[in-house]
Amino acid sequence: MNRREFLKKGGALLVGSVCAYNSPSLLATACELSKKGKKSNLKWGMVIDLNRCLQDCDECIKACRKENNITLHGDKKRDVHLIRKVRLKREYPVNSGEKSVLLLCNHCDNPPCAQACPVQATYKRDDGIVIVDHHRCIGCRYCMISCPYNARYFNYRENSKWSNKNHPKSAHGVPESCDFCNHLLRQGKKLACVASCERIGIKAITFGNLNDPDSEISRLIANNTVKAIREDLGTKPKVYYIGL
C-alpha cells in the first residue's frame, strides 16, 4: 500500500468512525453529508416582518428560552438572550422614528466572530449556520467583541433549571448565540420562535432555504422590500426584515 492509498483509507475510516458514534452533537449533519458524498445545497435564512410583529409580544422570546434552557438570573449585564427585542433608529433620514426589532445572531456569510476566534471554536457550516463549539471554546470572548450586532452573550452562571430535558443545559464559561435551533432542524421540526409566532396567529417570522427559489422565504424576499441590519459592514447577514 502506497502513501496515497494509506491516507485515503485512513480518512474514510475516520469519517466512518465519527458517524458511527451516533453522537447528538453538531457533527450529525456533517456525517450525513459525508455519507452522501456531496455538500449541502441548503442555505438557511430568516425573514422577520416588523409590520406583523407586535411590539408588546414576547412569545418567541419565551419559547426560545424554554426550548434552549436559558434562565434569566435578574442581572441585565449578564443574562443570556438568544433572541431579544431592541429599539433601533436609522441615522438617515434624520427624523426617522424608532422601531421595535427582534435581534438575534445574523448567521453572516462573512462572520466576524469566526474570523476573530483564535481556536476556530466559532465557524460557519456549509448550510450557513454559524456555530460555537463549546468543547473547543476557551472563553476568550473575542467573538463577542467582534460581533457588530451584540448577538452573543457570555454564560457567567450555571443554569440551575432544566425545562427541556430533550436538550442539554447551557454550559457556563462560554459564549451563547442563536443557532437556528439546530437540534430541532435535525429532527425536521420548526424553530421554537417560528412555531410560537405561528401558534398565536401572527406569523411574523419565516425561516427557510434561501437557495430554493420556490421556498416561502425566497418568495417573501422577491416580493417585498427587505433589509438587513448594518449591511454596510460587509458581513452579509442572513436575517432580513420587512418594514425596517
Q: Omega of the bond prior to 93 within 30 degrees of 0, cis?
A: yes
Pairing of strands 239-242, 44-49: parallel
* Domain at 175, CATH number: 3.30.70.20
Q: Which residue has the higher pLDDT, 47 or 13?
A: 47
Determine how many CB atoms are found less than 10 A away from the CB of residue 58.
Answer: 16
Shared domain check, 56 and 175: yes
Q: Are residues 28 and 117 in the same domain?
A: no
How many domains does the chain fold into? 2
For the chain, give the percent of residues with pLDDT over 90: 63
Q: How confident is the model at residue 95 (pLDDT cuts 50, 70, 90)?
A: low
Residues 178 and 196 in one domain: yes
Orientation of helix 59-67 relative to helix 192-199, angle to 10°: 140
- pLDDT category at 13 given cuts 50, 70, 90 is very low
Of 56-65, 93-102, 111-120, the one with minimum mean pLDDT is: 93-102
For 182, the enclosing helix (H) or strand (E) is: helix 182-185
Asked whether residue 140 carries a pLDDT value surpassing 60, the answer given is yes
pLDDT of 64: 94
Both 22 and 76 in a single domain? no
What is residue 209's three-state secondary structure? strand
Q: How far apart are the first and last CA of the chain?
A: 61
Beta strand residue intervals within 96-174, DSSP E: 99-104, 122-124, 130-132, 153-154
Residue 211 has a pLDDT of 96
My answer on whether 203 and 227 are in the same domain is yes
State residue 208's pLDDT score. Answer: 96
pLDDT at residue 59 in the model? 95
230 and 194 housed in the same domain: yes
DSSP code at position 170: P
- The pLDDT value recorded for residue 98 is 79
Residues 166 and 183 reside in one and the same domain: yes
Mean pLDDT of the region 75-86 = 88
Full residue range of the structural domain in which residue 185 is found: 40-242
Find the length of the chain: 244
Q: Both 73 and 185 in a single domain?
A: yes
Pick 191 or 32 by higher pLDDT. 191
Q: Same structural domain for residues 24 and 126?
A: no
Are 82 and 66 contained in the same domain?
yes
Specify the residue for cell string 422565504. 217
In this structure, are residues 241 and 101 in contact, taking their beta carbons and an 8 Å threshold?
yes
Report the distance separating Cα 92 and Cα 161, nearest Å. 44
Angle between helices 27-36 and 3-20 (to 10 degrees): 130
pLDDT at position 78: 85
The one-letter code for the residue type at 28 is A
- The mean predicted confidence, pLDDT, of the chain is 83
CA pseudo-torsion sign 184, 203, 208, 212: positive
194 versus 20: which is more confidently predicted? 194
| pTM metric for this prediction | 0.79
| Pair (9, 115) in one structural domain | no
Does residue 126 share a domain with residue 31?
A: no
Mean pLDDT, to the nearest integer, of 210-235? 95
Q: Which residue has the higher pLDDT, 244 or 12?
A: 244
